[in-house]
Amino acid sequence: MSFEQKRRALITGASRGIGKATALAFTKAGIDVALVSRSLDELAAVAAATQHTGATAKVYAVDLAEVSQVEAKMQAIALDFGDIDILVNNAGIGYTATLSQTPLVDWQKVMDLNLTSVFQCIQGILPGMRTRLTGTIINVASIAAKQAFPNWGAYCVSKAGLLALSQTLAQEERAHGIRVTTIFPGSVNTSLWDTETVHADFDRSQMLTPEIVAQSILHTALLPPQAVIEELILMPSGGAL
């Protein structure tokens, strides 16, 4: 595929936060997007915001927590939307608790959404990329993959697992023309901090914005095919919060 050809991206967690900002950045750059999230109404609002760009945005309601169904649903999206050139695995859940106080059911929920669903998204989209000998997979991890934080144990482990998944995938797939990037944002001012599974009191005004992270994702995706950013750490200038 030449650098100038029209590209299609699939973005998970696209209804808000980093995923929404990435969808807007991609469509402004002329990249068609398949938007995936649980909320069809929120996705529709994101798609409506892209209408002036000239790029295509199509919405797909998928609950990535239902990991046994994810691979088949990704395959169905690719069949309906068209060959996926860029896969952005952004969906995830925040979770705070000491390891000693983390119930197994909560641990499994975090692993399913932050790690296993990514694995299944990749398995759904990867065969098409291998057939075409081209593709870019961008996994949004967290600085918590590299730096452990107390009371964030399950989250840190899930993101460290995502790093290992990305590194292994990159080794296995580069011979097939597939690039793999892992992005490690520090604290980002998103609705994650308002969810019932996160209990933390930080100064959100000092955090990264979703738009800043989205621009880094776009930059990675737009690199010529003979180059790859394998790992990108993006921190607030004030440091980890």
**Residues taking part in catalysis:** 155
Beta bridge partners of 137: 87, 180
Whole-number Å distance between alpha carbons of 71 and 124 = 4
Best CA proximity match to 63, nearest among 86, 93, 84: 93
Alpha carbon 213 to its chain centroid, in Å, reads 11
Please, are residues 195 and 146 in contact by the beta-carbon 8 Å criterion?
Answer: no
